[in-house]
Amino acid sequence: MEKTGEISITPIGVMRCGLQAPVDAPKNYTESAETGRLEILPQFLEAMDGIEVGQTLVVLFWLHEAQRDLLKVYPRGDHSRGRRGVFSTRSPMRPNPIALSELTVLKVDGNAIEVSGVDVIDGTPILDIKSAVAPGKKG
């Protein structure tokens, strides 16, 4: 069996938006009309080259306020559905609270990327940004 150890990840920036608490956030980005600003750290500015208005970005976040010791949850908080393992849900509560959002670029200005579809709270660390793959396309 392979040895698994600690992993070190350095955030590349932070989300700035009007959502102040997890309870305020939409359940996921497909249900969100919220806008916000991805503030990228200065040492990563060069990596923003090529990001354009209208583009869809896949953004990975670290849900810094998420509960990490739950392995089962009620999907969307609906107790009538029974508890399920977090790996079969999009729950923010999980051992490694990494979130994936697809956000639409509204504006690029210096180290800031204005986006729509925000489903995380203000201050959420950004782990990575990738260009979205169009449906039916490969890589």
List Cα–Cα distances, 39 to 46, 103, 106, 110, 127, in angstroms.
Answer: 13, 14, 14, 9, 12
Which pLDDT tens digit goes with each residue over 106-123?
999 999 999 999 999 999
CATH of domain 13-67+93-131: 2.40.30.70
Q: Per-domain residue ranges for the chain?
A: 13-67+93-131
Query: Could you tell me the pTM of the whole model?
Result: 0.84
pLDDT at 139: 55
pLDDT surpassing 90 at residue 36: yes
What percent of the chain clears pLDDT 90, i.e. is strictly above it?
A: 53
User: How far apart, in whole angstroms, are the C-alpha atoms of residue 83 and residue 45?
Assistant: 43
pLDDT at 55: 97
User: How far apart, in whole angstroms, are the C-alpha atoms of residue 88 and residue 80?
Assistant: 17
Say which range, 15-29, 60-74, 84-98, 124-138, has the weakest mean pLDDT: 15-29
